[in-house]
Structure formats: C-alpha cells, structure tokens
Amino acid sequence: MTVLDILIKYHDGFLQGLAVTLQLSLIIWIFGMGLGTALGMAGAKYKLEIGLPTRLFSFFLSGIPLLVFLFWLHYPVQAMFNVVIDPFITAAFTLTIVNIVAVADLVRTTVDDFPKQYILAARVCGMDSHKTFWRIQLPIMFRQMLPALLMLQVTMMHTTLFASLISVEEIFRVAQRINASIYKPVEIYTALGVFFLAVSLPINGFALLMKAKFTRNLSES
C-alpha cells in the first residue's frame, strides 16, 4: 500500500484529525498572539512591574520540557483540584501559555530594540506620542517581527502533536490508530508529513518573503 493509497483510503480520518489540529492551532494562534502582544508591550513599558516577572516566568518555562508541562496540567493539577477537564481544553490552554510567553518575549525585545532616533525625529516634527506610536513605531516594529512571528506560529502548530499523548484526536493520533491497524509506519507518517507540509510551507514561504522584503538592521539607520 503506497502513500497515495493510504491517503485515498483513510482520507476521512486524516481530514478529521487535521480539522482538530487546525482548530487547536487557531486557538493557540489567536490567544497567543493577542495576549502575548499585549503582555510584551506592557512588559516593555512597565519593566519592573510586568517585564521582570514575565522574563522570569519565561526563563523558568524554558527549562521545562513542553511535554512535562502538558502532563503536569493534565494529570497532577486535575488530581490536585479533583476535576476532570477535556484533554483538548488542557492542550489548548497549555500551548497557548507557551505561545503567549514566546510572543511576549519577541514583542518586548522588538520594542526595546526600537531606535530612539525615530521617536526623537517624530517629536521634532511635532507629532505627539500617540501619533508617533501608530504611524511610526507600530508599522516598523510589525515589519521587523512579522517573519519571526509567523515562523513561531508554525512551530506552535507542530507542537500540537504532543496533544495526542493526552488523547486529543488530532492528526498524529489518527495516524497512530491507522498505523496500529495496517502497520505501514513509513507510508503513514510520510502521509502525515504531506499534510503538515501543505499547511506549513505556505506560511514559511510568506515569512521568508516578508523577511527578505521588509526586515533590515535598524541600527544602521
């Protein structure tokens, strides 16, 4: 049985698993980028009150394997509070936290590295802080961090594979069940790779295009 045969025969299962993976990814992307951006901006503005605790939490989280963090929230925490939570919700919550922290770090670093001469030039031209932010700072910072932000979101989509280990019916778990039935690991996981390539490559390609078109070293300005 070839990869094409597997894709044709089990396309319903793969598509259902892919739908769960994309649904999980959308939750992670929307809340991760939204809350992460807000947290990063706040951390850059209030360095001691918000920035320092955020950086400490990011440092702590970076030392914990993602799988361990996911298992902590799925097993010990639920047992501690005597609750049972849908594995999908647990996976979405865990990966969203990771994404929020990663996006916040990216945004805060971009804000901190923004050349002060742009702001001074805007003030000389008579622009207030509100107009300076929306017309100068935000567009430039967005162009600078967009490629890295897009690639980060592709990485977060790939981490949804870990959700299968707590029984979320995403595409990797579907592939495992199909493999248990017919035992064609090379063909099945190649088919799985095809699905991820179909989603990831356009985003990565767009990120590289944006990086080549917009990103440059602002310190040279």
**How confident is the model over 37-56, as pLDDT tens digits?**
999 999 988 988 998 999 99
Predicted pLDDT at 215: 63
Predicted pLDDT at 20: 93
Spatial separation of the C-alpha atoms in residues 102 and 153, rounded to whole Å: 10
Domain range enclosing 109: 3-196
pLDDT band for position 105 (50/70/90)?
Answer: very high
**Domains identified in the chain, total number:** 1
Q: Does residue 31 form part of some domain?
A: yes
* Residue at token pair 């009150």: 49
Q: Does residue 103 form part of some domain?
A: yes
**How confident is the model over 109-131, as pLDDT tens digits?**
998 888 888 888 888 888 887 88
**How confident is the model over 194-219, as pLDDT tens digits?**
888 888 888 888 877 877 776 655 44
* pLDDT beyond 70 at 149: yes
Q: Does residue 203 form part of some domain?
A: no
Q: Does residue 108 form part of some domain?
A: yes
pTM: predicted TM-score of the whole model, two decimal places: 0.86
Q: Please compute the mean of the pLDDT values over residues 6-32 and round it to a whole number.
A: 90
Q: Does residue 218 form part of some domain?
A: no
pLDDT band for position 160 (50/70/90)?
Answer: very high
* pLDDT beyond 90 at 25: yes
Predicted pLDDT at 88: 95
CATH number for the domain that contains residue 163: 1.10.3720.10
Q: Does residue 219 form part of some domain?
A: no
Predicted pLDDT at 199: 81
Q: Does residue 19 form part of some domain?
A: yes
Q: Does residue 201 form part of some domain?
A: no
